[in-house]
Amino acid sequence: MLRMAVKGDETRMRLIEATRDLIEAKGYHGTGLNEVLAASGAPRGSLYHHFPGGKDQLVGEALTRAGKEIDALVRELSSGAAGADELVHALLGALADRMEAADYAKGCPVATVALEVSATHEPLRRICADVYGAWERALADALCAEGRPADEAEELSGTVLALIEGALVLARARRSRTPVERARRRVRTLLAS
């Protein structure tokens, strides 16, 4: 019985991971369930067993997982960074490396869906907003740890996140990490003031 549960959990995770990769590269509308099944190697019945809410539930869980992965990356980078500027500098470098490794097919694991469905799909918009909110809080916490007032840290974290997201979108569109490198330099200036 335990083996079946483990196998079921593995199948569920394969479906989530395949969805996460596909929606990041192709968006919500560009990703079909047949494509998810092919990429995950999971049988069709497993999809509906694990995700009775269908594509929306699967995409929601993939977005949540992607958010947690970036949260973990931020925590990991925070432990080695001397301050918020080093944290953001390292985060931008890691995201740019990831994007380059995917030949610019990927950027932010949430942005593609957020841009595509935020005006038409309230549950997924909320998930995207929650993920972005968690990232902003993590950045604000790093800024507060440096002694910045909470209101300043909150405003700066929103500005930095907007700079990161914009840089990733431009880098993907241009197939160049130049926008990310520019953002890295500007973040240092912004956070030094």
Express each pLDDT in 35-56 by its tens digit: 999 999 999 999 989 999 999 9
Residue 6: predicted pLDDT:
58
In this structure, the dihedral spanned by the alpha carbons of residues 32, 100, 76 and 132, taken in order and rounded to 10 degrees, is -50
In a 10 Å sphere around its CB, with 0-12 CB exposed, 13-18 middle and 19+ buried, how is residue 37 labelled?
Answer: middle
Rounded distance, CA 156 to CA 136, Å?
9
Select from 63, 72, 96 the least CA-distant residue to 187. 96
pTM of the model: 0.88
Superfamily of domain 56-192 in CATH is: Tetracycline Repressor, domain 2 (1.10.357.10)
Express each pLDDT in 117-176 by its tens digit: 988 999 999 999 999 999 999 999 999 999 999 999 999 999 999 999 999 999 999 999
